[in-house]
Structure 1
Amino acid sequence: MGKILVTGATGNVGKHVVSQLAEAGLDVRALARDPGRAALSVGTGPVGIGPVGIGPVGIGPVGIGPVEIVRGDLTAPESLEPALRDVESVFLLWPSFTADGADETITAIAGHARRVVLLSATGADQPGNHYHEVERLVRRSGLGWTFLRPSGFAVNTLGWADQVRQGVVRWPYGRAARSLIHEKDIAAVAAHVLTSAGHNGAAYVLTGPERLTQAEQVRVIGEVVGREVRWEEQSPEQARELLTALWGVPEFVESALRTWESFVTGPEVVTDTVERLLGRPALTFRQWAADHAADFS
Protein backbone atom coordinates (compact mmCIF):
# COMPACT_ATOMS: atom_id res chain seq x y z
CA MET A 1 0.00 0.00 0.00
CA GLY A 2 1.34 3.43 -0.96
CA LYS A 3 2.02 6.43 1.19
CA ILE A 4 -1.02 8.15 2.74
CA LEU A 5 -1.11 11.91 3.32
CA VAL A 6 -3.33 13.10 6.16
CA THR A 7 -4.37 16.75 6.06
CA GLY A 8 -5.83 18.42 9.13
CA ALA A 9 -3.44 16.07 10.90
CA THR A 10 -3.37 17.97 14.19
CA GLY A 11 -7.15 18.46 14.35
CA ASN A 12 -9.83 16.56 16.23
CA VAL A 13 -10.28 13.92 13.53
CA GLY A 14 -6.97 14.02 11.68
CA LYS A 15 -4.83 13.22 14.71
CA HIS A 16 -6.78 9.99 15.21
CA VAL A 17 -6.50 9.10 11.52
CA VAL A 18 -2.73 9.51 11.77
CA SER A 19 -2.55 7.44 14.96
CA GLN A 20 -4.69 4.59 13.66
CA LEU A 21 -2.86 4.32 10.35
CA ALA A 22 0.55 4.46 12.02
CA GLU A 23 -0.44 1.84 14.57
CA ALA A 24 -1.33 -0.43 11.66
CA GLY A 25 2.22 -0.06 10.37
CA LEU A 26 1.28 2.00 7.32
CA ASP A 27 3.36 4.68 5.63
CA VAL A 28 1.81 7.92 6.88
CA ARG A 29 2.70 11.51 6.15
CA ALA A 30 1.05 14.27 8.20
CA LEU A 31 0.53 17.76 6.82
CA ALA A 32 1.03 20.62 9.28
CA ARG A 33 1.38 24.36 8.88
CA ASP A 34 3.97 24.32 11.66
CA PRO A 35 5.63 20.90 12.04
CA GLY A 36 7.56 22.10 15.06
CA ARG A 37 4.33 22.55 17.01
CA ALA A 38 2.61 19.39 15.77
CA ALA A 39 2.17 17.15 18.79
CA LEU A 40 1.25 13.86 17.13
CA SER A 41 1.41 10.64 19.07
CA VAL A 42 0.77 6.98 18.38
CA GLY A 43 -1.04 5.08 21.09
CA THR A 44 -3.60 2.36 21.55
CA GLY A 45 -7.29 2.87 22.01
CA PRO A 46 -10.70 1.23 21.91
CA VAL A 47 -11.32 1.73 18.21
CA GLY A 48 -9.85 -0.17 15.29
CA ILE A 49 -9.46 0.36 11.59
CA GLY A 50 -11.96 -2.41 10.97
CA PRO A 51 -11.93 -5.75 9.17
CA VAL A 52 -9.34 -4.97 6.50
CA GLY A 53 -6.79 -7.68 7.18
CA ILE A 54 -4.09 -5.52 8.76
CA GLY A 55 -4.86 -6.04 12.42
CA PRO A 56 -7.16 -4.11 14.73
CA VAL A 57 -5.74 -1.11 16.54
CA GLY A 58 -5.37 -1.43 20.28
CA ILE A 59 -5.79 -5.22 20.40
CA GLY A 60 -2.54 -7.09 20.72
CA PRO A 61 0.80 -6.11 19.16
CA VAL A 62 0.69 -4.15 15.95
CA GLY A 63 3.40 -2.65 13.83
CA ILE A 64 4.09 1.01 14.51
CA GLY A 65 4.93 2.88 11.34
CA PRO A 66 6.84 6.15 11.29
CA VAL A 67 4.86 9.36 10.97
CA GLU A 68 6.54 11.89 8.73
CA ILE A 69 5.40 15.45 9.42
CA VAL A 70 5.71 17.83 6.47
CA ARG A 71 5.11 21.57 6.33
CA GLY A 72 2.29 22.70 4.04
CA ASP A 73 -0.86 24.79 3.86
CA LEU A 74 -3.94 23.65 1.93
CA THR A 75 -4.84 27.25 1.20
CA ALA A 76 -1.44 27.72 -0.47
CA PRO A 77 -1.28 24.93 -3.07
CA GLU A 78 2.23 25.90 -4.13
CA SER A 79 3.39 24.76 -0.67
CA LEU A 80 2.09 21.21 -1.11
CA GLU A 81 4.68 19.73 -3.50
CA PRO A 82 6.91 18.18 -0.77
CA ALA A 83 3.89 16.77 1.06
CA LEU A 84 2.38 15.21 -2.07
CA ARG A 85 5.56 13.60 -3.38
CA ASP A 86 5.12 9.80 -3.73
CA VAL A 87 1.64 9.92 -2.16
CA GLU A 88 -1.02 7.46 -3.31
CA SER A 89 -4.00 8.46 -1.14
CA VAL A 90 -5.04 11.64 0.67
CA PHE A 91 -7.35 12.21 3.62
CA LEU A 92 -8.62 15.68 2.84
CA LEU A 93 -10.22 18.11 5.25
CA TRP A 94 -10.87 21.48 3.64
CA PRO A 95 -9.97 24.08 6.31
CA SER A 96 -12.28 26.96 5.40
CA PHE A 97 -15.95 27.96 5.65
CA THR A 98 -15.84 28.74 1.90
CA ALA A 99 -14.57 26.82 -1.13
CA ASP A 100 -12.31 29.70 -2.19
CA GLY A 101 -9.03 28.26 -3.42
CA ALA A 102 -10.16 24.64 -3.23
CA ASP A 103 -9.99 24.20 -7.03
CA GLU A 104 -6.26 24.91 -7.15
CA THR A 105 -5.54 22.70 -4.15
CA ILE A 106 -7.53 19.74 -5.46
CA THR A 107 -5.82 20.11 -8.85
CA ALA A 108 -2.44 19.93 -7.06
CA ILE A 109 -3.52 16.77 -5.22
CA ALA A 110 -4.77 15.20 -8.47
CA GLY A 111 -1.36 15.81 -10.02
CA HIS A 112 0.21 13.35 -7.58
CA ALA A 113 -2.29 11.11 -5.77
CA ARG A 114 -4.71 8.51 -7.13
CA ARG A 115 -7.53 8.80 -4.61
CA VAL A 116 -8.92 11.05 -1.93
CA VAL A 117 -11.12 10.48 1.10
CA LEU A 118 -12.87 13.79 1.75
CA LEU A 119 -14.25 14.73 5.15
CA SER A 120 -17.43 16.50 4.09
CA ALA A 121 -20.74 16.90 5.95
CA THR A 122 -24.38 15.90 5.88
CA GLY A 123 -26.22 18.22 3.54
CA ALA A 124 -23.34 18.31 1.07
CA ASP A 125 -25.61 16.74 -1.54
CA GLN A 126 -27.61 19.99 -1.60
CA PRO A 127 -26.28 23.11 -3.39
CA GLY A 128 -25.66 26.28 -1.45
CA ASN A 129 -22.87 25.31 0.94
CA HIS A 130 -19.11 25.01 0.61
CA TYR A 131 -19.14 21.27 1.29
CA HIS A 132 -21.22 20.77 -1.87
CA GLU A 133 -18.79 22.84 -3.90
CA VAL A 134 -15.69 21.03 -2.61
CA GLU A 135 -17.32 17.68 -3.38
CA ARG A 136 -18.10 18.92 -6.90
CA LEU A 137 -14.47 19.89 -7.44
CA VAL A 138 -13.25 16.50 -6.22
CA ARG A 139 -15.69 14.68 -8.52
CA ARG A 140 -14.39 16.46 -11.59
CA SER A 141 -10.69 16.16 -10.61
CA GLY A 142 -10.12 12.69 -12.02
CA LEU A 143 -9.26 11.33 -8.58
CA GLY A 144 -10.88 8.24 -7.17
CA TRP A 145 -12.96 9.51 -4.27
CA THR A 146 -14.98 8.63 -1.20
CA PHE A 147 -16.98 11.23 0.73
CA LEU A 148 -17.52 10.97 4.49
CA ARG A 149 -20.56 12.99 5.53
CA PRO A 150 -20.71 12.99 9.32
CA SER A 151 -23.51 14.41 11.41
CA GLY A 152 -22.71 16.95 14.11
CA PHE A 153 -19.40 16.42 15.88
CA ALA A 154 -19.76 15.56 19.55
CA VAL A 155 -16.48 17.40 20.12
CA ASN A 156 -18.17 20.69 19.24
CA THR A 157 -19.97 20.55 22.59
CA LEU A 158 -16.63 21.41 24.17
CA GLY A 159 -17.74 24.94 23.35
CA TRP A 160 -19.98 24.60 26.40
CA ALA A 161 -17.09 23.71 28.74
CA ASP A 162 -16.90 27.04 30.57
CA GLN A 163 -20.67 27.09 31.06
CA VAL A 164 -20.68 23.47 32.25
CA ARG A 165 -18.16 24.42 34.93
CA GLN A 166 -20.54 27.18 36.04
CA GLY A 167 -23.51 24.79 36.14
CA VAL A 168 -25.67 26.47 33.47
CA VAL A 169 -25.49 26.13 29.68
CA ARG A 170 -27.21 28.93 27.78
CA TRP A 171 -27.75 28.03 24.12
CA PRO A 172 -30.58 28.13 21.57
CA TYR A 173 -32.86 25.28 20.55
CA GLY A 174 -32.58 22.94 23.52
CA ARG A 175 -35.11 20.59 21.91
CA ALA A 176 -33.02 20.13 18.76
CA ALA A 177 -32.38 16.38 18.51
CA ARG A 178 -28.90 15.49 17.22
CA SER A 179 -27.14 12.22 16.38
CA LEU A 180 -23.68 13.49 17.34
CA ILE A 181 -20.71 11.36 16.34
CA HIS A 182 -17.48 10.69 18.22
CA GLU A 183 -14.44 11.99 16.32
CA LYS A 184 -12.76 8.63 16.86
CA ASP A 185 -15.50 6.95 14.83
CA ILE A 186 -15.02 9.36 11.93
CA ALA A 187 -11.28 8.64 12.03
CA ALA A 188 -11.82 4.88 12.22
CA VAL A 189 -14.06 4.97 9.15
CA ALA A 190 -11.56 7.15 7.31
CA ALA A 191 -8.75 4.74 8.11
CA HIS A 192 -10.87 1.77 7.01
CA VAL A 193 -11.78 3.42 3.71
CA LEU A 194 -8.18 4.44 3.06
CA THR A 195 -6.94 0.90 3.58
CA SER A 196 -9.59 -1.24 1.90
CA ALA A 197 -11.20 -1.62 -1.50
CA GLY A 198 -14.79 -1.14 -2.59
CA HIS A 199 -15.39 2.45 -1.50
CA ASN A 200 -14.72 4.36 -4.71
CA GLY A 201 -17.62 6.67 -5.55
CA ALA A 202 -19.33 6.13 -2.19
CA ALA A 203 -20.77 8.92 -0.02
CA TYR A 204 -21.15 7.63 3.54
CA VAL A 205 -23.44 9.39 6.01
CA LEU A 206 -21.90 8.81 9.45
CA THR A 207 -23.76 9.40 12.72
CA GLY A 208 -23.75 8.41 16.32
CA PRO A 209 -26.00 5.49 17.39
CA GLU A 210 -28.72 7.60 19.03
CA ARG A 211 -30.45 10.97 19.12
CA LEU A 212 -30.21 13.30 22.09
CA THR A 213 -31.59 16.80 22.32
CA GLN A 214 -29.09 19.51 23.10
CA ALA A 215 -30.57 19.80 26.60
CA GLU A 216 -30.12 16.03 27.06
CA GLN A 217 -26.50 16.30 25.92
CA VAL A 218 -25.88 18.81 28.69
CA ARG A 219 -27.51 16.48 31.22
CA VAL A 220 -25.30 13.57 30.12
CA ILE A 221 -22.15 15.67 30.37
CA GLY A 222 -23.15 16.71 33.88
CA GLU A 223 -23.78 13.11 34.92
CA VAL A 224 -20.42 11.97 33.55
CA VAL A 225 -18.40 14.72 35.22
CA GLY A 226 -20.41 14.52 38.46
CA ARG A 227 -21.78 18.03 38.34
CA GLU A 228 -25.39 19.23 38.18
CA VAL A 229 -25.74 21.24 34.99
CA ARG A 230 -28.98 22.77 33.79
CA TRP A 231 -30.06 24.04 30.40
CA GLU A 232 -31.21 27.63 29.94
CA GLU A 233 -32.80 28.49 26.61
CA GLN A 234 -31.09 31.33 24.76
CA SER A 235 -32.86 33.35 22.10
CA PRO A 236 -31.67 32.94 18.49
CA GLU A 237 -30.97 36.70 18.43
CA GLN A 238 -28.58 36.46 21.37
CA ALA A 239 -26.90 33.41 19.86
CA ARG A 240 -26.53 35.13 16.49
CA GLU A 241 -24.67 38.05 18.06
CA LEU A 242 -22.42 35.78 20.11
CA LEU A 243 -21.57 33.37 17.29
CA THR A 244 -20.98 36.09 14.70
CA ALA A 245 -18.39 37.62 17.00
CA LEU A 246 -16.86 34.18 17.61
CA TRP A 247 -16.86 32.73 14.07
CA GLY A 248 -16.70 35.90 12.00
CA VAL A 249 -18.74 34.44 9.12
CA PRO A 250 -22.37 35.63 9.33
CA GLU A 251 -23.51 33.26 6.56
CA PHE A 252 -22.18 30.26 8.47
CA VAL A 253 -23.87 31.46 11.66
CA GLU A 254 -27.21 31.76 9.87
CA SER A 255 -26.78 28.30 8.40
CA ALA A 256 -26.01 26.84 11.83
CA LEU A 257 -29.02 28.49 13.46
CA ARG A 258 -31.35 27.29 10.68
CA THR A 259 -29.97 23.78 11.01
CA TRP A 260 -30.44 23.65 14.78
CA GLU A 261 -33.96 25.00 14.45
CA SER A 262 -34.79 22.33 11.86
CA PHE A 263 -33.75 19.57 14.27
CA VAL A 264 -36.49 20.62 16.70
CA THR A 265 -39.22 19.38 14.36
CA GLY A 266 -37.15 17.06 12.14
CA PRO A 267 -34.53 15.29 14.26
CA GLU A 268 -31.14 14.54 12.75
CA VAL A 269 -30.92 11.23 10.90
CA VAL A 270 -29.38 8.14 12.53
CA THR A 271 -27.55 5.65 10.31
CA ASP A 272 -25.87 2.31 10.93
CA THR A 273 -23.00 3.10 8.54
CA VAL A 274 -20.30 3.09 11.23
CA GLU A 275 -21.35 -0.36 12.41
CA ARG A 276 -21.62 -1.73 8.86
CA LEU A 277 -18.14 -0.54 7.95
CA LEU A 278 -16.31 -1.25 11.20
CA GLY A 279 -18.17 -4.29 12.49
CA ARG A 280 -18.93 -2.66 15.84
CA PRO A 281 -21.52 -0.15 17.05
CA ALA A 282 -20.80 3.55 16.88
CA LEU A 283 -19.62 5.07 20.17
CA THR A 284 -22.32 6.75 22.24
CA PHE A 285 -22.37 10.37 23.33
CA ARG A 286 -21.94 9.20 26.93
CA GLN A 287 -18.73 7.42 25.88
CA TRP A 288 -17.57 10.60 24.17
CA ALA A 289 -18.29 12.61 27.34
CA ALA A 290 -16.33 10.09 29.43
CA ASP A 291 -13.39 10.36 27.03
CA HIS A 292 -13.45 14.14 27.42
CA ALA A 293 -14.45 14.45 31.07
CA ALA A 294 -11.19 16.21 31.93
CA ASP A 295 -11.98 18.93 29.37
CA PHE A 296 -15.08 19.88 31.37
CA SER A 297 -13.41 19.79 34.77
Structure 2
Amino acid sequence: MITVFGATGTTGAPLVDTLLAKGATVRTVTSDPSKLDALKAKGCDAVAADFTDPAVLARACDGAEKIYLVTPAHLDMRQWKANVIKAAKAAGVRHVVVATGLGASPKAGLTFGKWHSETQELLKQSGLDWTFVQPTYFMQNLLWQAYNIAKDAVYYDDLGGPVAWIDARDIADVAAEALTAPGYEGKVLV
Protein backbone atom coordinates (compact mmCIF):
# COMPACT_ATOMS: atom_id res chain seq x y z
CA MET A 1 0.00 0.00 0.00
CA ILE A 2 1.06 3.58 -0.71
CA THR A 3 0.02 6.37 1.65
CA VAL A 4 -0.27 9.81 0.07
CA PHE A 5 0.02 12.73 2.47
CA GLY A 6 -1.39 15.91 0.95
CA ALA A 7 -3.79 13.84 -1.13
CA THR A 8 -6.07 16.79 -1.95
CA GLY A 9 -3.26 19.25 -2.71
CA THR A 10 -1.76 20.51 -5.95
CA THR A 11 0.50 17.49 -6.53
CA GLY A 12 -1.22 14.98 -4.24
CA ALA A 13 -4.60 15.01 -5.98
CA PRO A 14 -3.26 14.10 -9.43
CA LEU A 15 -0.84 11.62 -7.81
CA VAL A 16 -3.75 9.73 -6.24
CA ASP A 17 -5.47 9.46 -9.62
CA THR A 18 -2.27 8.30 -11.32
CA LEU A 19 -1.55 5.68 -8.66
CA LEU A 20 -5.10 4.34 -8.84
CA ALA A 21 -4.86 4.15 -12.64
CA LYS A 22 -1.69 2.06 -12.18
CA GLY A 23 -3.64 -0.32 -9.94
CA ALA A 24 -1.96 0.67 -6.67
CA THR A 25 -3.68 0.33 -3.32
CA VAL A 26 -3.79 3.85 -1.95
CA ARG A 27 -4.44 5.37 1.45
CA THR A 28 -5.04 9.10 1.25
CA VAL A 29 -4.37 11.62 3.99
CA THR A 30 -5.95 15.05 4.06
CA SER A 31 -6.30 17.70 6.71
CA ASP A 32 -9.85 18.44 5.51
CA PRO A 33 -12.41 15.92 6.82
CA SER A 34 -15.02 17.21 4.34
CA LYS A 35 -12.95 15.64 1.52
CA LEU A 36 -12.92 12.10 2.92
CA ASP A 37 -16.07 10.91 1.14
CA ALA A 38 -14.79 12.04 -2.28
CA LEU A 39 -11.49 10.24 -1.69
CA LYS A 40 -13.27 7.06 -0.59
CA ALA A 41 -15.50 7.27 -3.68
CA LYS A 42 -12.35 6.98 -5.81
CA GLY A 43 -11.56 3.67 -4.13
CA CYS A 44 -9.05 4.85 -1.54
CA ASP A 45 -8.78 4.35 2.15
CA ALA A 46 -8.99 7.91 3.49
CA VAL A 47 -7.77 9.43 6.74
CA ALA A 48 -8.18 12.95 8.10
CA ALA A 49 -4.97 13.84 9.86
CA ASP A 50 -3.40 16.71 11.66
CA PHE A 51 0.39 16.71 11.18
CA THR A 52 0.79 17.23 14.93
CA ASP A 53 -1.19 14.16 16.06
CA PRO A 54 1.18 11.18 16.47
CA ALA A 55 -1.64 8.63 16.86
CA VAL A 56 -3.33 9.65 13.62
CA LEU A 57 -0.01 9.80 11.76
CA ALA A 58 0.78 6.29 13.02
CA ARG A 59 -2.59 5.07 11.73
CA ALA A 60 -1.98 6.76 8.36
CA CYS A 61 1.40 4.98 8.01
CA ASP A 62 0.27 1.61 9.39
CA GLY A 63 0.57 -1.10 6.74
CA ALA A 64 2.08 1.21 4.12
CA GLU A 65 5.17 0.10 2.24
CA LYS A 66 5.74 3.52 0.73
CA ILE A 67 4.57 7.05 1.33
CA TYR A 68 4.46 10.31 -0.58
CA LEU A 69 5.02 13.27 1.71
CA VAL A 70 4.19 16.86 0.94
CA THR A 71 2.87 19.53 3.27
CA PRO A 72 1.50 22.99 2.67
CA ALA A 73 4.06 25.80 2.71
CA HIS A 74 3.82 26.71 6.38
CA LEU A 75 6.08 27.88 9.19
CA ASP A 76 5.63 24.46 10.85
CA MET A 77 6.27 22.34 7.74
CA ARG A 78 9.66 21.10 8.97
CA GLN A 79 8.17 19.76 12.18
CA TRP A 80 5.18 18.31 10.35
CA LYS A 81 7.44 16.39 7.97
CA ALA A 82 9.62 15.25 10.88
CA ASN A 83 6.50 13.92 12.61
CA VAL A 84 5.51 11.93 9.51
CA ILE A 85 9.03 10.55 9.05
CA LYS A 86 9.03 9.40 12.68
CA ALA A 87 5.62 7.75 12.25
CA ALA A 88 6.72 6.12 8.98
CA LYS A 89 9.84 4.66 10.57
CA ALA A 90 7.87 3.32 13.55
CA ALA A 91 5.30 1.75 11.20
CA GLY A 92 7.92 -0.04 9.12
CA VAL A 93 7.45 2.00 5.95
CA ARG A 94 10.29 1.15 3.57
CA HIS A 95 10.43 4.08 1.14
CA VAL A 96 9.47 7.75 1.42
CA VAL A 97 9.13 9.95 -1.64
CA VAL A 98 9.18 13.54 -0.44
CA ALA A 99 8.41 16.62 -2.50
CA THR A 100 10.86 19.35 -1.65
CA GLY A 101 11.98 21.95 -4.17
CA LEU A 102 14.63 22.78 -6.70
CA GLY A 103 17.74 24.11 -4.99
CA ALA A 104 17.04 22.59 -1.58
CA SER A 105 20.31 23.16 0.23
CA PRO A 106 21.63 24.47 3.54
CA LYS A 107 23.08 27.32 1.45
CA ALA A 108 19.86 28.06 -0.46
CA GLY A 109 19.03 31.70 -1.01
CA LEU A 110 15.37 31.12 -0.09
CA THR A 111 14.18 30.07 3.36
CA PHE A 112 12.04 27.27 1.92
CA GLY A 113 15.12 25.86 0.19
CA LYS A 114 16.91 25.67 3.54
CA TRP A 115 13.88 24.14 5.23
CA HIS A 116 13.49 21.53 2.47
CA SER A 117 17.18 20.70 2.89
CA GLU A 118 16.65 20.07 6.60
CA THR A 119 13.84 17.63 5.81
CA GLN A 120 15.98 15.86 3.22
CA GLU A 121 18.81 15.42 5.72
CA LEU A 122 16.41 14.18 8.41
CA LEU A 123 15.01 11.61 6.00
CA LYS A 124 18.50 10.46 4.97
CA GLN A 125 19.42 10.01 8.64
CA SER A 126 16.21 8.06 9.37
CA GLY A 127 17.48 4.89 7.71
CA LEU A 128 14.42 4.76 5.43
CA ASP A 129 14.82 4.51 1.68
CA TRP A 130 14.14 7.91 0.16
CA THR A 131 13.59 9.74 -3.10
CA PHE A 132 13.51 13.52 -3.37
CA VAL A 133 11.31 15.09 -6.01
CA GLN A 134 12.59 18.64 -6.54
CA PRO A 135 10.30 20.51 -8.92
CA THR A 136 10.59 24.09 -10.03
CA TYR A 137 7.65 26.48 -9.78
CA PHE A 138 4.21 25.03 -10.48
CA MET A 139 2.37 26.40 -13.51
CA GLN A 140 -0.79 26.26 -11.37
CA ASN A 141 0.72 29.00 -9.18
CA LEU A 142 0.33 31.42 -12.08
CA LEU A 143 -3.36 31.46 -11.18
CA TRP A 144 -2.41 33.43 -8.07
CA GLN A 145 -1.56 36.29 -10.43
CA ALA A 146 -4.78 36.12 -12.47
CA TYR A 147 -6.29 39.21 -10.84
CA ASN A 148 -3.18 41.36 -11.40
CA ILE A 149 -2.84 40.19 -14.97
CA ALA A 150 -6.50 40.95 -15.70
CA LYS A 151 -6.44 44.29 -13.88
CA ASP A 152 -3.03 45.69 -14.85
CA ALA A 153 -1.92 43.42 -17.72
CA VAL A 154 1.17 42.79 -15.61
CA TYR A 155 2.67 39.67 -14.12
CA TYR A 156 4.58 40.49 -10.95
CA ASP A 157 7.57 38.16 -10.63
CA ASP A 158 9.45 37.98 -7.37
CA LEU A 159 11.58 35.02 -8.43
CA GLY A 160 14.61 37.04 -9.48
CA GLY A 161 14.91 35.91 -13.07
CA PRO A 162 13.86 33.36 -15.65
CA VAL A 163 12.08 30.31 -14.30
CA ALA A 164 11.16 27.01 -15.93
CA TRP A 165 7.56 26.32 -14.90
CA ILE A 166 6.22 22.77 -14.52
CA ASP A 167 2.70 21.42 -14.44
CA ALA A 168 1.84 19.82 -11.08
CA ARG A 169 0.41 16.83 -12.97
CA ASP A 170 3.90 16.16 -14.37
CA ILE A 171 5.31 16.29 -10.84
CA ALA A 172 2.66 13.75 -9.82
CA ASP A 173 3.69 11.48 -12.70
CA VAL A 174 7.33 11.58 -11.56
CA ALA A 175 6.30 10.80 -7.98
CA ALA A 176 4.09 7.93 -9.17
CA GLU A 177 6.99 6.43 -11.09
CA ALA A 178 9.26 6.69 -8.02
CA LEU A 179 6.58 5.03 -5.88
CA THR A 180 5.74 2.17 -8.23
CA ALA A 181 8.95 1.26 -10.07
CA PRO A 182 12.21 -0.05 -8.65
CA GLY A 183 15.48 1.83 -8.70
CA TYR A 184 14.54 5.27 -7.41
CA GLU A 185 15.75 4.77 -3.87
CA GLY A 186 18.47 7.30 -2.96
CA LYS A 187 17.74 9.43 -6.04
CA VAL A 188 17.15 13.15 -6.36
CA LEU A 189 14.69 13.80 -9.19
CA VAL A 190 15.04 17.39 -10.38
Q: Is TM > 0.5 for Structure 1 vs Structure 2?
A: yes
The answer as to 2:66 corresponding to 1:75 is no
Which structure has the bigger radius of gyration?
A: 1
Indicate conservation of the 8 Å contact 2:69/2:81, yes or no. Answer: no
- CA–CA separation in structure 2 for the residues paired with 1:106 and 1:4: 14
Cα deviation digits, residues 23-63 of structure 1 (max 9, x gap): 12210010012333354499xxxxxxxxxxxxxxxxxxxxx
Indicate conservation of the 8 Å contact 2:70/2:99, yes or no. Answer: yes
Mapping of 1:127-276 within 5 angstroms? 127=107, 129-166=114-151, 168-172=153-157, 176-205=161-190
The answer as to 2:89 corresponding to 1:110 is yes
Shift of 1:183: 0.4
Normalised TM-score (structure 2): 0.85
Cα deviation digits, residues 200-257 of structure 1 (max 9, x gap): 100111xxxxxxxxxxxxxxxxxxxxxxxxxxxxxxxxxxxxxxxxxxxxxxxxxxxx
After superposition, the Cα gap between the structure-2 partners of 1:94 and 1:127, relative to the gap in structure 1 and judged at 3 Å, is farther
Partner residue of 1:30? 28
- CA–CA separation in structure 2 for the residues paired with 1:31 and 1:71: 6
After superposition, the Cα gap between the structure-2 partners of 1:186 and 1:174, relative to the gap in structure 1 and judged at 3 Å, is closer
Q: Which runs of 5+ in 2 are unaligned?
A: 109-113
Identical aligned residues as a percent: 32
Shift of 1:160: 0.8
Shift of 1:184: 0.6
Partner residue of 1:8? 6
- CA–CA separation in structure 2 for the residues paired with 1:175 and 1:144: 34
Cα deviation digits, residues 76-97 of structure 1 (max 9, x gap): 3332122111111000113334
Indicate conservation of the 8 Å contact 1:148/1:204, yes or no. Answer: yes
Indicate conservation of the 8 Å contact 1:75/1:102, yes or no. Answer: no
Normalised TM-score (structure 1): 0.56
- CA–CA separation in structure 2 for the residues paired with 1:130 and 1:174: 18
- CA–CA separation in structure 2 for the residues paired with 1:173 and 1:130: 19
Cα deviation digits, residues 161-200 of structure 1 (max 9, x gap): 1123335225246982111111010000000110000111
After superposition, the Cα gap between the structure-2 partners of 1:175 and 1:144, relative to the gap in structure 1 and judged at 3 Å, is closer
Shift of 1:119: 0.3
Indicate conservation of the 8 Å contact 1:19/1:41, yes or no. Answer: no
User: Does the residue aligned with 2:65 lie in a helix, a strand or coil?
Assistant: strand
- CA–CA separation in structure 1 for the residues paired with 2:34 and 2:133: 29
Q: Could you say which structure has the greater relative contact order, defined with CA pairs below 8 angstroms and 6 or more residues apart?
A: 2
Q: Which runs of 5+ in 1 are unaligned?
A: 43-64, 206-297
Partner residue of 1:84? 61
Shift of 1:74: 2.2
Shift of 1:4: 0.3
- CA–CA separation in structure 2 for the residues paired with 1:194 and 1:19: 13
Q: Number of aligned pairs?
A: 181
User: Does the residue aligned with 2:120 lie in a helix, a strand or coil?
Assistant: helix
